[in-house]
Amino acid sequence: MPHTMTCLWMDNWIQEAVNFYVSLFPNSRVLDASRYPDSMGEMAGKPLVMNFELDGVRYMALNGGPVFKYTEAISIFVNCKDQAEVDRLWSALIANGGSESQCGWLKDRYGLSWQIVPVEMSDYIAGPDKAAANRAMQAMLKMSKIDLAAIKSAYAG
């Protein structure tokens, strides 16, 4: 059976970024790394490819240089168990040069987009009471980091 994974194109900060990402999630680890050969001049010995897992999901990072940049068209979605997990990941990912966006989206210091969302949020923005769900959605649209209590309050009216 074929196996798929996401490959993240990175500049020369591959090892720093992968180690940072692995430190944020339980059940995460660097699986292996290959290095540029000695014949590659200034790149010799630097990581070329790193395979890693974030909470059991496999990724590959490629140290391809500054040719390509990330866009919001691709993001890593994190379904957080509660507000405390949202707060922890949000703070860590925007630290040291990351930036907030809206509706639970952010960019980390390496430019990668993330969606940091409490799993319970869909109960409110897609809840059975359409008027309440609309209030919850309108509240969420005004947020950067998701505030689940405020969304619950909006849903309740």
- The string of pLDDT tens digits covering residues 56-105 is 999 999 999 999 999 999 999 999 999 999 999 999 999 999 999 999 99
- Provide mean pLDDT across the span 22-27: 97
My answer on whether 81 and 139 are in the same domain is: yes
DSSP 155: H
My answer on whether 59 and 4 are in the same domain is: yes
My answer on whether 101 and 140 are in the same domain is: yes
How many structural domains are present in the chain?
2
My answer on whether 44 and 1 are in the same domain is: yes
Note down the domain range covering 3. Answer: 1-66
Final residue belonging to a domain, choices 66, 95, 112: 66
Query: Helix (H, G, I), strand (E, B), or coil: what is residue 125?
Result: helix
- Provide mean pLDDT across the span 129-147: 98
Number of H helices, E strands in the chain: 5, 8
| φ and ψ at residue 15, rounded to 5 degrees | -65, -45
- Provide mean pLDDT across the span 43-62: 96
My answer on whether 5 and 43 are in the same domain is: yes
My answer on whether 123 and 99 are in the same domain is: yes
pLDDT of residue 3: 86
Q: How many CB atoms lie within 10 A of CB 96?
A: 9
pLDDT of residue 80: 98
36 and 48 Cβ atoms separated by less than 8 Å: yes
